[in-house]
Structure 1
């Protein structure tokens, strides 16, 4: 039986299963999916499985959930709240869709909204932050629509394709999450 405790109109967020490591590994091999994400050193599927087995269990400080499409049950990405700290009431949002044919579907937008709502309502977070490459305007647009505001910039904070890119720091306080319907998506 599938849990529906983090379900929206399009997607549900649920704990990752051990046999889903292969999807994560496959997504991490796709340069287009990884374009604006921090790349890992090359690893074999066996290394990815070992890393997943050593990953901490979901908790206040580390929450990893799969993004599953309600219509067909397909795993299409991951959403995380990391570095959660109950003393400061803050955590960082990380999210990506690995299935490129599911980009621009509203799935990433809804997943981010669901996870932020969970963070504010259930984890009693006061703030959720994220960082995004300045050139990733599609993602920045989605984050602004959700209620994130730009709080700062790290100059030359990310290197890709032989050049440095600025990172935009964004944040949202409890009460600022916008609950409008998804239209568009984080692209990758």
Structure 2
């Protein structure tokens, strides 16, 4: 099998793709998702503003079904819906557009897959913390008032209030034709997933 990796150096929403996710030995176990897609995605404030601007139907679903939490990235909405896997995971992969994925989903490659890719993969998630989107998320968290707590309707009003500002900030970032790095390696499928 040819293991393929693609690093998309979008200055706002960078991502890593690999075809190994589709053949992950941990992907199913008697019908239960047990790989990376067994986790509930967590959308930070910037994710919500970006998705509101570009994918309003997805935004509406996230806000209706998600729970507001204080996470590693400030205020976040977790899609905890009582499932054993991400609500956006399907048999064909993730149904979300690539740039609608939260940072962990876009930039994390498990050790079992990363071992077949270039060494640079391991540093990609850390790069998030110096990215434009991280700084925009910090900005939004600094504007959110937590004195009375945050409700879904309050969060929605906040996103509405700052969406035009975020749109203008995004417009300043040149995202045309981001550099893409590709890497491939012939592997034996039996060797994938041995580092469990």
TM-score interval for Structure 1 and Structure 2 normalised by the shorter chain: 0.3 to 0.5
If the length of structure 1 is used for normalisation, what is the TM-score?
Answer: 0.34
Relative to the length of structure 2, the TM-score reads 0.33
Q: Which has the higher helix share?
A: 2
Identify which of structures 1 and 2 has the higher relative contact order when contacts are C-alpha pairs closer than 8 Å and 6+ apart. 2
**Structure whose residues are more often strand by fraction:** 1
